[in-house]
Structure 1
Amino acid sequence: MSNSLIIPCLRYRDAAAAIDWLCSAFGFEKQVAYPNPDGTIAHAQLTLDGGMVMLGSVGKVPTEWGKLIRQPDELGGVETQSAYVCVHNADTVYLRARAAGAAIVIDIKDEDYGGRGFSCRDPEGHLWSIGTYNPW
């Protein structure tokens, strides 16, 4: 591969519901979802305008990687990182996210560094920042 890619990876207790919510709230499209035998999600890929996030279910028996990850509610509702989703129209996504029940934690505004955006939490408490600022 000649180009490097950075793809955020998230875990959800109800990954199937998270996939539906992320598609509804932010406009992601489900590229693929591989189920575990128990019906949870082993691995899923969601795309948006050439970007991607990968996600899967929190397992009853933690994987080697899963042992290194905690959910926001296990950390008092804080995150140690978050995804920034670059969009063409932050106001449109803001309205979709609010309609889908996103907890807006930083209201939509024009940023000093350029662009317009907001931050919100999804139903499981993961922090997402959405905006029009594109550093490329």
Structure 2
Amino acid sequence: MNSTIIPCLRYKDALAAIDFLCSAFGFEAQAVYKNADDPRIVDHAQLTHRGGMIMLGSVRNDTAFSQYIVQPDDVRGMETQCPCVIVEDVRAHYDKARNAGAVVVDEYEEKEYGGAGYSARDPEGHLWYFGSYDPWVARG
């Protein structure tokens, strides 16, 4: 089953963000729709990771949605939510992300409740959590 909740993010340089998210965090670009008038603007993109997906686009001020969302650097790097991505080999994922320039804010750690995980920021400051704990898998 695929995820039915899809986080949506905005980036000042969405094309660079797509490249980073794919190379550092292991996403795959499923669809990228560039603006017809300005191909540097991403109107909509869909990136997949296993059975999950995120959607993203360029920061814009000309839509109704834009009045409800700010970038992390607009609010001192604070976030009110954080996408959680389940990965199989957290340690390898952590190493790859760190080597690609992700800013790790919560180091790799084995969790008491099972699995392992870490948190990192992408180049525009969005906070991400990557871990092996899968709440969909029955335990004990």
Shared fold, TM over 0.5:
yes
Assess, with a 3 A threshold, how the Cα gap between structure 1 residues 130 and 16 changes in structure 2: closer, same or farther.
same
Instruction: State the partner residue of 2:57.
Output: 56
Secondary structure of 1:105's partner?
Answer: strand
Q: Distance in 2 between matches of 1:14 and 1:112?
A: 38
**1:69-115 deviation per Cα after TM superposition (whole angstroms, max 9, x unaligned):** 01000111111111000011111110110011011000000112211
User: Identity of paired residues, percent?
Assistant: 56
Q: Distance in 2 between matches of 1:69 and 1:46?
A: 20
Q: Where does the alignment leave 5 or more consecutive residues of structure 2 unmatched?
A: none
Q: Offset of 1:62 from its aligned partner?
A: 3.3
Q: Distance in 1 between matches of 2:102 and 2:111?
A: 21
Instruction: State the partner residue of 1:101.
Output: 101
Q: Distance in 1 between matches of 2:46 and 2:26?
A: 13
The one-letter code of the counterpart of 2:15 is: A
Task: Give the paired residue count.
Answer: 133
Secondary structure of 2:54's partner?
Answer: strand
Secondary structure of 2:98's partner?
Answer: helix
Q: Distance in 1 between matches of 2:44 and 2:24?
A: 20
**1:115 correspondence with 2:119:** no
Alignment of 1:19-30 (within 5 A): 19-30=18-29
Alignment of 1:27-106 (within 5 A): 27-36=26-35, 37-39=37-39, 40-59=41-60, 61-106=61-106
Q: Offset of 1:25 from its aligned partner?
A: 0.6
Q: Distance in 2 between matches of 1:62 and 1:79?
A: 23
Displacement over 6 Å in runs of 4+: none
Assess, with a 3 A threshold, how the Cα gap between structure 1 residues 111 and 19 changes in structure 2: closer, same or farther.
same
Q: Where does the alignment leave 5 or more consecutive residues of structure 1 unmatched?
A: none
Q: Distance in 2 between matches of 1:50 and 1:62?
A: 32
Q: Offset of 1:4 from its aligned partner?
A: 7.6
Q: Distance in 2 between matches of 1:65 and 1:90?
A: 34
Secondary structure of 1:125's partner?
Answer: coil
Secondary structure of 1:31's partner?
Answer: strand
Q: Distance in 2 between matches of 1:35 and 1:4?
A: 25
**1:7 correspondence with 2:6:** yes
